[in-house]
Amino acid sequence: MDLPGNATLDRLPGLSRRVFIGGTALTALLAACGTGTTTTQSPAQTQPTAQPSQVPRRGGILKAGSPPPPTKVDPVTMYDGTAIAITQLVADYLIWLEKDFTLVPRLAEKWESSDGGRTWVFTIRQGVVFSDGTPLDAETVKVSFDRLLDPDSKSAALSAFDGVLKEGGVAATDAGTVTFTLERAFSDFPYLVSAGNYNALILKKDYASGGDIIGTGPFTLTTYDASTGATLTRNPKYWQQDRPYLDGVEIRFYADDQADLLALQSGEIDAQILSRPQLVGPLKGAGDIVVDQVPGTGLTAFTLRVDQPPFDRKENRQAVAYALDRPGVNTTIYDGVGALGNDHLFAALFPAAPADLPQRAKDPAKVAELLGGRKLSFALTFDPPGKDLALTIQAQLKEVGIEVELDQRTSADFYGGDQEKDTPWLFTSANLVGWAGRAVPSQFIVPMVISDGVWNGSKYANPALDEAARAYDAATTDEERRAQAAIIAGALHEDVPVIISVWSGTVRAYNGAKVAGVAAHPSSYVDFSEVTVL
C-alpha cells in the first residue's frame, strides 16, 4: 500500500513543471527575496514557532494549498496526497497513525488478537455519528472493509490486504465488535486497518464510488471543484469533544508546486499540504515561513534485476552500492532531511531495524576489487520524479568508472504496460521507483523482495528470506521479530537486489505567524483538528 509522498506529487510526467519555471534555482531566488517580513528564525529551527496555547483560540479558516487530485476524489480508489488529505479531514480510520508510527485509537477503542495473530477483535467506539446524523456501528465498519476487499473494488487496498485478509474475513460480531479473521498470522495487522492503509476510511454503508463523502471526521466537505479546490466546514457532530478548533478549511489547488510555494510566501495560503524538501528547504529561516520536518520511511528504490546481465553478478550490484556517496545523495536530493539507507528495507523508524549491520559507504577501492577490471555499464530507467536522483547517480558512478545511460520515461509510460509482462518499472534491468512511506516494513518486503512479490522488480528469489519474512509477520515477541529482521536485512544487504541510499524525511511548510498546530507527518497525512488560527 503506497502512502502519499514525493512520488505522487509530480503530476506532469515528461513535461516536468520545472521545465516551465526553472525549479530550484527560482526557489533560491524566491528564498533570497524573502517575504519582506522581519521575523527571523535560525536555519535549524524547523519546529513550529507557535504551539497551540493552553486555551486554544477557536474559529477561523485555514487556507491550505495542494496539487489538484489527478482523479475523482473517491476514498476507495484514491492514491494521491491531496485526495487523501481531503478525505482524512472528512472521515476517520479505526486507528490513526501518529508521526512516530504509534497507533492511536480513533473509531476503534481497543483491539486484541487471538489464535496466534490470525484473529483480531476490534471494539468500536460508541456514540459516534456521521456528519448527517447516521450512527456508527460494527456493521458499518464491516461494510467499509467489505467494500475494499471486493475483488471488483479497484482499490489499491486490495494489494495491501493481499495474502492477509480476503473478502468474507470481516464479521460484525455484535453492534460494537468487529472480528477480522486473517489468512495467516500477521502481528502488525492493526496497521493495515489504520491510516497506514489510507483507503481504510470508515464510510457510510450506502457509500458508492463517486457519491457524496460523508464521514465521522472533524470537517464536512461543503464544496469541491476539480479545478480550483475544496471547502470544508466544521462538523458539529464530531465525536472528539471541542474539536476541531477551526471553523473550516479551504484547500486551494495549485497545479504547479512553485505556485503553491509563492502562494504561501505571499500570504495567500497559510500552509501546504504536500511540501517538497528541496523547494521549501531554502525558506527555512525566511520570514514567517516555518518548515516542520519529521523522519520518514519513504524511499527511492534503485532496483537491479538479478536475473539478467549485468546485475546477475552479485559483485556488480555490490560495486554499484559501494560507489554511491549516500550523504551526497541526501544533501542533493533531500535537502539533508533524510536518513542514510543501508540497502535493506528496515528504516530506523521501524522498531525491529537491525543496529549492528555496518553502514555501507562509498569505497572506490572496494568497487575496483569487486569489478576486477571488468567494465560495467548499464541503462537506468526512471520517470520525471526520479530525474534528479538519476543524474546524481550517473555522476557518482562515473567517478568510479561505471557508465550509466539515462533512460527517462513519462510516468504514464514508466508505470504503464502490464505488471505481469512488460511494465518498465518492474521489467527494466535497472530503475528508480519512488515508494512513499509505509507503516510497517512488511509493506515493503512482501511486495518488493519475496520470491513471488507482486512488485518484485529485481526478480530476486531467496527462500531463506521468504521464510524469514513469513516468520517476521507471525512473530509475537520483539525478540523474535528482531531475529527475523536481522536475517532479512542481512540477506538484502549482502545480495543487493535494491539499493536504498536514503530514507526520505517529510516536511510541511506553513506560516507560523498566522497558524499554529500544523505539523509534518511521515506520510504527509493531515490532522487539522488541533490547528488554530493566530
Partner 1 sequence: MRGFLLRRAATVPLTLLGVSLLVFAATELVPGDVARIILGREASQASVQALRDELGLDRPWFQRYADWLGGFLTGDWGTSYTLGVPVQDLVVSRLGQSLLLAGVAFTVLAPVAVGLGLWAGVRHDRAADRVISVGGLAFGAVPEFVTGVVLLVVFAVNLRWFPSGAQAPEGSGPLTVLWHLALPALSLVLLCTGYVARHVRAGTAVSVESAYARAAELRGLTRGQVVRRHVLRNSTVPAASALGVQLQFLLGGLVSVELLFGYPGIGALLLQSAVDKDLPVLQSAAMVLGLLYMVIVLGADVAYRLLDPRVRLGAVAS
Number of H helices, E strands in the chain: 17, 20
Which range in 306-314, 322-330, 417-425, 521-529 contacts partner 1 by CB under 8 A? 417-425
C-alpha cell at 385: 520524479
Which range in 98-106, 238-246, 264-272, 465-473 contacts partner 1 by CB under 8 A? 264-272
- Residue closer to partner 1 by CB (options 200, 319) is 200
Among 152, 242, 356, 479, binds partner 1 (CB under 8 A): 152
Distance, in Å, from the CA atom of 450 to the CA atom of 462, rounded to the nearest integer, reads 7
Residue 452 makes contact with partner 1 by CB under 8 A:
no
48 touches 445 (CB < 8 A): no
- Residue closer to partner 1 by CB (options 32, 44) is 32
Residue 38 makes contact with partner 1 by CB under 8 A:
no
Entry field: residues in the chain = 534
Which range in 187-195, 255-263, 311-319, 493-501 contacts partner 1 by CB under 8 A? 255-263
C-alpha cell at 225: 471543484
Distance, in Å, from the CA atom of 380 to the CA atom of 383, rounded to the nearest integer, reads 10
Distance, in Å, from the CA atom of 411 to the CA atom of 103, rounded to the nearest integer, reads 33
Among 45, 134, 153, 240, binds partner 1 (CB under 8 A): 153
Distance, in Å, from the CA atom of 430 to the CA atom of 413, rounded to the nearest integer, reads 16
- Residue closer to partner 1 by CB (options 85, 185) is 85
Q: How far is the CB of 117 from partner 1 (least distance, A)?
A: 25
Chain residues 102-131 in contact with partner 1, contact rule CB under 8 A: none
Residue 418 makes contact with partner 1 by CB under 8 A:
yes
Site mask for partner 1 (CB under 8 A), range 347-366, x = bound: --------------------
- Residue closer to partner 1 by CB (options 126, 228) is 228
Residue 36 makes contact with partner 1 by CB under 8 A:
yes
Residue 412 makes contact with partner 1 by CB under 8 A:
yes
Which range in 114-122, 238-246, 247-255, 273-281 contacts partner 1 by CB under 8 A? 247-255
Among 40, 57, 59, 70, binds partner 1 (CB under 8 A): 70
Chain residues 9-28 in contact with partner 1, contact rule CB under 8 A: 11-15, 17, 20-22, 26
120 touches 182 (CB < 8 A): yes
**Residue 23 main-chain phi, psi, to 5 deg:** 60, -140
Residue 369 makes contact with partner 1 by CB under 8 A:
no
Site mask for partner 1 (CB under 8 A), range 72-101, x = bound: x----x-xx---------------------
Distance, in Å, from the CA atom of 521 to the CA atom of 506, rounded to the nearest integer, reads 7
- Residue closer to partner 1 by CB (options 259, 391) is 259
Chain Cα centroid distance, residue 518? 18
Residue written as cell 526553472? Answer: 22
Site mask for partner 1 (CB under 8 A), range 41-60, x = bound: --------------------
> Please, what is the Cα angle at 221 between 219 and 224, to 5 degrees?
145
- Residue closer to partner 1 by CB (options 141, 164) is 164
Contacts of residue 61, defined as CB under 8 A and 6 or more positions apart, other chains included, come to 246, 247, 248, 249, 250, 533
Instruction: Give the ranges where 97-169 is alpha helix by DSSP (H).
Output: 138-149, 157-161
- Residue closer to partner 1 by CB (options 253, 510) is 253
Give just the sign of the alpha carbon dihedral 360, 361, 366, 367.
Answer: positive
- Residue closer to partner 1 by CB (options 263, 389) is 263
Residue 302's H or E segment, with its range, is strand 289-304
- Residue closer to partner 1 by CB (options 303, 342) is 303
Nearest CA to 455 out of 434, 440, 437 is that of 434
Which range in 226-234, 270-278, 315-323, 488-496 contacts partner 1 by CB under 8 A? 226-234
Nearest CA to 118 out of 473, 477, 479, 481 is that of 473
Beta pairing class for 271-272 and 61-66: parallel
Among 5, 6, 9, 30, binds partner 1 (CB under 8 A): 30
Nearest CA to 344 out of 188, 480, 491, 478 is that of 491
340 touches 496 (CB < 8 A): no
Residue written as cell 479531514? Answer: 89
- Residue closer to partner 1 by CB (options 247, 256) is 256
Q: For partner 1, how many residues bind (rule: CB under 8 A)?
A: 64
Q: How far is the CB of 250 from partner 1 (least distance, A)?
A: 9
Chain residues 464-523 in contact with partner 1, contact rule CB under 8 A: none
Distance, in Å, from the CA atom of 521 to the CA atom of 98, rounded to the nearest integer, reads 8
Residue 208 makes contact with partner 1 by CB under 8 A:
no
Residue written as cell 511494465? Answer: 423
**Residue 346 main-chain phi, psi, to 5 deg:** -110, 100
Residue 253 makes contact with partner 1 by CB under 8 A:
yes
List residues binding partner 1 (CB under 8 A): 1-2, 11-15, 17, 20-22, 26, 29-30, 33-36, 70-72, 77, 79-80, 151-156, 158-159, 210, 226-228, 252-256, 258-260, 262-263, 265-268, 409-413, 415-420, 425, 454-455
